[in-house]
Structures are given as C-alpha cells and as structure tokens.
Amino acid sequence: MSATAALDAFIASHMAQSTAELARLCAQPSISATGEGMAACADLVAGLLAARGFDVELLPTSGYPVLVAEARGRSARTLLFYNHYDVQPPEPLELWDSPPFEPTVRAGALYARGAIDDKGNLLCRLAALDAVRALHGGAYPCNIKFVIEGEEETGSTGLEPFVAAHKQRLAADACIWEFGGVDHLGNPNLFLGLRGICYVGLSVRSLTQDVHSGLGGSIFPNAAWRLTWALNSLKDSMERILIPGFYDAVQAPSARDLELLAHIPDPAQSYRERYGVTEFLRGVTGGVALERQASFEPTCTICGLNSGYQGAGSKTVLPAEASAKVDFRLVPNQTPADILQKLRSHLDAQGFADVLVEDLGSEPPARTDPDHPFVQMAADTARVVYGREPVLVPMSGGSGPNHAFIEHLKVPIVTCGAGYPGSQAHAPNEHVRLDMLQQGIRHSAHLLQRFADA
C-alpha cells in the first residue's frame, strides 16, 4: 500500500473517533467576546496535543493565553500550524435548530458553534497527526509546531507582539493557516493572502443633552447631521475613498495575480442566490473584475450607525450624540497606522475636528508568493485529495493575523480545511459536513507527509 493510501485508510477507519473528538471540543464553550469557557477550552486543547506527544505550554499575552505546542520529528524541517480555540458568540439562540454547545449530528453534518471555525479545522490537524504518526511507527516525520490563540474572533490584538517576541521558538519552514476547504463548485481553494483591516469608531457630541427639535433644529448643531456629513466626506457614490493619500501605497495586482483571478470560478450567481444581491458595486457583473474588486482593492464600510430616536412613531428630538463603526479593508502595502493618521488629517481638514476617531483594532495586509514551492505542494496534494483542480486565490477579502507570521517568521502560508460556502461560520446552525471533515483531514495529512518528504 502506498503511503497516501495508508493515510487514507487510517483516516477513513477513524472517522467515528474524529467526529467524537470534534464533538467534545465543540461542547466546551470558548467565547472570547465574553470569556465564557476560555480557560477550560485552552486546557482541553492542551490535553489533546499532550496526548499526541507534544510539549505544550500556555503563554500569557495581553489577552487570552496562546497555546504553543511542539513535537520533534525525524527530518529537520518544521511545519507550523496556526489555529484558534475561541469562537464567536452563539446569539441569536432562537435561530439554532439544536443548542450551539450541544454538538448534534444530522444529515451527515455536525452542528455546533465552532464546528468549522475553528474547531473543525483544528480537528483536521489532530486527526492528520494520528494518521501520519501511525504511518511512521509512532514518530512524526518532521518537526511540528502549533500556535493556537484565543483572540482570533476579537481581532488577535495580542498576537503580533507575541509572535515578534517568540521568533526563535516559533521558527518554521512553512505554515498552514486556520481555515480552508472548497468553493461553491466543490473545488479546493487555497488562500494565499489576507487583506488588512483598520477598524474605527467615529463619534460626535454636539450638545450636553438632546433638545426639542422645534428649538434646537433651527439654531443648535445636530450630532446626527455632523456625523452623516463626516461619513459622506469619506467616500463618493462610485466607491472612491476621498481621504487624501489613501491609495498611495496600494500595489496593483501583478499579471500573475490577474491570471490566477481569471481561474477562479465566477461566484457572481452564487452571491445573487445566497445574499439576494441584485447589483454589485461599481457595476461589475462578475469574473475577474468582481474578484479583483473583492480582494485587491481597499474599502470603507459603515458597519453600524447610531443616533437619535428609532422607536415606534415619531419623536421630535435633536440628538446630542451620534456614533458609527467603520472598517477599512486594506491591501498590500497599506498600513493601518498610516490610514488612521490620514483619516484624522482628512476629518480635520474637512472641518470635522469634533468627530472623534477611536482605534478599535487593526491588522496589516500580507500575502504569500503564489509560486512558492510550498504553495505548489499544497496544490498538488489538494488535487489528489479532492480529485479536482485546486483554485489558488492570491488574496482573500477577509483579514487575519497572517502578517505577524509572514513578517516575523518569514514563512509561506497556505490554507487547508473542512469548510464549504454553506458552513454558516459565525451564524446560527454553524456546521461541518462530515465528508468535508474527512477531506480536510486527508489534505492536512497528505500535505504534512509531503512536506516532511521534501
């Protein structure tokens, strides 16, 4: 039997144990937003790795501890896995068909908060370790490290300084990221970059208290209008961001990037069906233009707005305060610090010195070279596991702390996981399909084996 066939056979015959282990992980709440179950979950994950021969340590950060685990292997090469043990809050509870922390298998899927994000993907690594170790008579074929943080769902605020401070300890030759899986057509997708993010709170207070609009409307400044005008100054109706210098550092996609974008199956119709979107921004209809806009261009998004009276009927009142949450998704080589400073200068120059800007968290963009040999390895193994041509996605529209690893550890990063577009990550009825879980385990195992052999 070939090594890959042996891995596959082991994985197939251990799916019941893998599903049970995932259920155990998901039954333990670990909500970083509220703190519920965080310490117990970190201990549970530490135990699962210790049982697999890892030296495990929970190291302090400015927030929840980071779990660092290490096992020695036969070759000198080191593969690093980045995952997280925290999950999103489960609310609204009434929209779940089974309780979020009572993992339930139905119709070939396991339902629970964290089933895919990120406990399902973490389980793929754990089950892959078992298969690889069985193949090698109880040893690992290469050195393996884990960084499993507890603040991914709240912005990974403590992680960048943590990675910077532990460069030696975390040193590796390559890194497998926390998520991955297939697209709407079932093709494995390998994400190679993440946009950055600069998340701000904007607020205005124009008076010490709300006022009768019959009085104040004529002669007092209105916080809701002040904020609306300030927001209006940020972007035009063609989505062009009007902050001076905002686009200065933006690096256009290369010819190679555009070639990769052209190979991504057009998701336009799938978005229309899933989200009910009738028109995409700037009139794009799909294809490369849509992909390029979705991943290689920066954005300014109003995530929330709050001011004045929103109850039943009418209330003639002039609001004394107004606030908004705004995120800027950033592309290489923009930096959050630069954007924050340009935003402040812009608001001041436009006469909005009264609009306060609060930094609510940021992450710079980062990406891996699509022609790196490790990307090739991940693509080759995905082709074998899924029996379909993998799609290389040079940049994802989302954000994450990949820059800390790329910047400080200089590792190439690829994704590998058990997700599919219907997984409902962050939403009610989050689940992992058990067939996708098995594929995610297989891809993790094949890639680990291939990496060790290289």
What does the binding site for Zn ion look like in residue numbers (CB under 5 A)?
117
- Minimum distance between the CB of residue 425 and Zn ion, rounded to whole angstroms? 6
Cα→Cα distances 412→164, 172, 357, Å: 17, 10, 35
Residues 204, 357: Cα–Cα separation, whole Å: 9
Locate 126 and state its tokens: 């754990």
Q: Helix count (H) and strand count (E) of the chain? A: 15, 20
- Minimum distance between the CB of residue 86 and Zn ion, rounded to whole angstroms? 9
**CA of residue 194 relative to chain centroid, distance:** 8
Residue with tokens 């994802």: 396
117 or 183: CB nearest Zn ion? 117
- Minimum distance between the CB of residue 400 and Zn ion, rounded to whole angstroms? 9
- Minimum distance between the CB of residue 82 and Zn ion, rounded to whole angstroms? 13
Residues 179, 377: Cα–Cα separation, whole Å: 17
Contacts of 382 (CB under 8 A, 6+ apart): 188, 190, 390, 416, 443
38 or 339: CB nearest Zn ion? 38
Write b or e for each residue in 13-49: b if 16 or more Cβ atoms lie within 10 A of its Cβ, otherwise e: ebeeebbebbbebbebbbbbeeeebbeebbebbbebb
Alpha helices in 90-156 (DSSP H): 119-135
Q: Which residue is nearest to Zn ion (CB)?
A: 117
- Minimum distance between the CB of residue 426 and Zn ion, rounded to whole angstroms? 6
Q: How many CB atoms lie within 10 A of CB 432?
A: 33
216 or 365: CB nearest Zn ion? 365
Residues 402, 196: Cα–Cα separation, whole Å: 9
Alpha helices in 59-166 (DSSP H): 119-135, 159-165
Q: How many CB atoms lie within 10 A of CB 96?
A: 20
179 or 374: CB nearest Zn ion? 179
Closest CA to 77 of 215, 2, 171: 171
117 or 151: CB nearest Zn ion? 117
- Minimum distance between the CB of residue 38 and Zn ion, rounded to whole angstroms? 15
The residues facing 84 across adjacent strands are 149
Residues 451, 454: Cα–Cα separation, whole Å: 5
156 or 307: CB nearest Zn ion? 156
39 or 427: CB nearest Zn ion? 427
DSSP designation for 396: B
- Minimum distance between the CB of residue 444 and Zn ion, rounded to whole angstroms? 19
117 or 160: CB nearest Zn ion? 117
Residue with tokens 């990974």: 156
117 or 130: CB nearest Zn ion? 117
- Minimum distance between the CB of residue 410 and Zn ion, rounded to whole angstroms? 26
- Minimum distance between the CB of residue 179 and Zn ion, rounded to whole angstroms? 8
Closest CA to 42 of 149, 120, 138: 149
230 or 393: CB nearest Zn ion? 393
- Minimum distance between the CB of residue 44 and Zn ion, rounded to whole angstroms? 19
